[in-house]
């Protein structure tokens, strides 16, 4: 059986790129790291590292073992944390991965409420798009992942399509338990210079240049435009919703953005109109069989509590106003 400590050393070398950096991260002496690597090679009977100039690099076998070891160690760490939470050996530690617009809206309110409930809770946040967040969840690096997709269907029952976000080589159904937190509208984003009575119909913008986002958002944009009878001319691609709005405000194109993006950061030089029938769904996902550890259960309760049911707001020409302090979804403040 392979030694877990030596596997941790290999993973650290793979992650930080050198024996020196791995030793620093693990608080080991550099010779100790080299010794563990040599012993691991002896255990496996395979060359795992090789010299590269003044440093080292992993062989193909070393990279393969490091990837599998990261998954195993992640699950071991998760098991240790869950056991500690149940037995009360130490204060709860929570690890949450979330996409950028959720980190700018839902997560801060949830973190504040969580601190109000239990000050000793150690919440650690990681920014990750849905595919990476699900990989981290499966590997045990996070306890809960906030993800989104443009379909409300359960991951385990919907048919595969090009729009399935969270796929990207990841099986998103087996072992995953998801809770729908939010259904938010997707907005057409145009320059504030456009007339207030500009049409909501995407077909009216068929001749415009378009700004596309991440792969999942781009797929949704292409689908919506196809339903409107045209293929968009995509001139820019960026998953930075601040940059998207800046490009639109500069009259360099039009785009679509979900409400959370507009709540997280709203450019004064854009106009937004909700697209009929276009929505994005935000889920909190856990991995493994229930019941959840108490700390995870508390986090799930807090995430549900800070998401308030949306209210329609009337704007000029029927537009749904989404100023910086408001959106179709509101995030409540800390308890008390």
Local confidence band at 154 (pLDDT 50, 70, 90 cut-offs): low
Q: Of the given ranges (135-144, 167-176, 194-203, 235-244), which has the lowest mean pLDDT?
A: 167-176
CA atoms within 13 A on the CB side of 86: 9
Alpha helix ranges (H) inside the chain: 4-16, 19-26, 30-44, 60-87, 100-103, 106-117, 130-139, 215-227, 241-249, 259-264, 294-306
Give the model's pLDDT for residue 324.
33
pLDDT of 183 above 50: yes
**Cβ atoms of 228 and 220 closer than 8 Å:** no
pLDDT tens string 26-85: 889 888 889 999 999 999 999 998 888 777 889 999 999 999 999 999 888 888 877 766
d(CA 199, CA 13): 56
Q: Dihedral (C-alpha) 251, 271, 282, 232: value to the nearest 10 degrees?
A: -40
- Residue 111 or 316, more confident: 111
Summarised one tens digit per residue, pLDDT across range 194-252 is 777 766 789 999 999 999 998 889 999 999 999 999 999 999 999 999 999 999 999 99
The token duo for 12 is 């650290």
Strands 93-98 and 144-149: parallel
Two tokens at 69? Answer: 């070891």
Total length of the chain: 336
**Within 10 A of 140 (CB to CB), how many other CB atoms are there?**
23
pLDDT score of 209: 96
Nearest to 316 by CA among 179, 197, 143, 144: 197
Choose among 133, 140, 136: nearest CA to 103.
133
pTM for this entry = 0.63
* pLDDT interval class at 91 (50, 70, 90): low
Res. 266 pLDDT band, cuts 50 70 90? very high
Categorize the per-residue pLDDT at 309 as very low, low, confident or very high, splitting at 50, 70 and 90. Answer: low
Write out the two tokens for 277.
């029938």
Binned at pLDDT 50, 70 and 90, residue 139 comes out as: confident
- Give yes or no for residue 275 having a pLDDT over 70: yes
pLDDT (0 to 100) of residue 256: 96
In this prediction, residue 193 has a pLDDT band, given cuts at 50, 70 and 90, of confident
| Of residues 85 and 164, more confidently modeled | 85
Tell me what the mean pLDDT of segment 105-129 comes to: 91
Q: Quick check: 138 pLDDT over 50? A: yes
CB contact set of 111 (below 8 Å; sequence gap of 6+) = 123, 125
Statement: residue 162 has pLDDT above 60 = no
The answer to whether the beta carbons of residues 225 and 231 sit under 8 Å apart is yes
């Amino acid at each position: 059986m392979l030694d877990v400590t030596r596997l941790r050393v290999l993973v650290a070398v793979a992650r930080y790129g050198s024996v020196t950096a791995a030793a620093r991260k693990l608080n080991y002496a550099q010779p100790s790291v080299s010794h563990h690597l040599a012993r691991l090679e002896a255990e496996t009977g395979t060359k795992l590292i090789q010299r590269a100039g003044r440093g080292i690099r992993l062989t193909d076998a070393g990279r393969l073992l490091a990837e599998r070891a990261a998954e195993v160690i992640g699950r071991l760490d998760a098991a240790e944390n869950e056991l500690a939470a149940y037995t009360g050996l130490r204060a709860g530690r929570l690890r949450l991965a979330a996409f950028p617009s959720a980190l700018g809206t839902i997560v801060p309110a949830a973190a504040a409420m969580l601190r109000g409930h239990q000050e000793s809770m150690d919440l650690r946040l990681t920014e990750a798009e849905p595919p990476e967040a699900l990989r981290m969840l499966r590997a045990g690096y996070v306890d809960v992942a906030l993800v989104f997709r443009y379909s409300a269907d359960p991951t385990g029952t919907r048919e595969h399509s090009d729009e399935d976000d969270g796929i990207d080589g990841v099986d998103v159904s087996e072992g995953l338990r998801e809770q729908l937190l939010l259904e938010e509208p997707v907005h057409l984003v145009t320059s504030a210079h456009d007339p207030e009575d500009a049409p909501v119909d995407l077909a009216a913008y068929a001749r415009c240049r378009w700004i596309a986002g991440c792969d999942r958002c781009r797929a949704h944009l292409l689908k919506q435009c196809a339903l409107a009878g045209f293929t968009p001319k995509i001139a820019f691609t960026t998953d930075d919703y601040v940059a998207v709005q800046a490009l639109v405000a500069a009259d360099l194109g039009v785009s679509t953005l979900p409400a959370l993006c507009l709540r997280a950061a709203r450019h004064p030089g854009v106009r937004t109109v909700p697209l009929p029938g276009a929505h994005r769904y935000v889920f909190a996902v856990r991995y493994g069989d229930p019941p959840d550890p108490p700390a995870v259960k508390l986090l799930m309760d807090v995430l549900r509590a800070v998401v308030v049911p949306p209210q329609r707001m009337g704007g000029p020409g029927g537009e749904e106003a989404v100023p910086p302090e408001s959106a179709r979804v509101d995030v409540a403040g800390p308890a008390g």
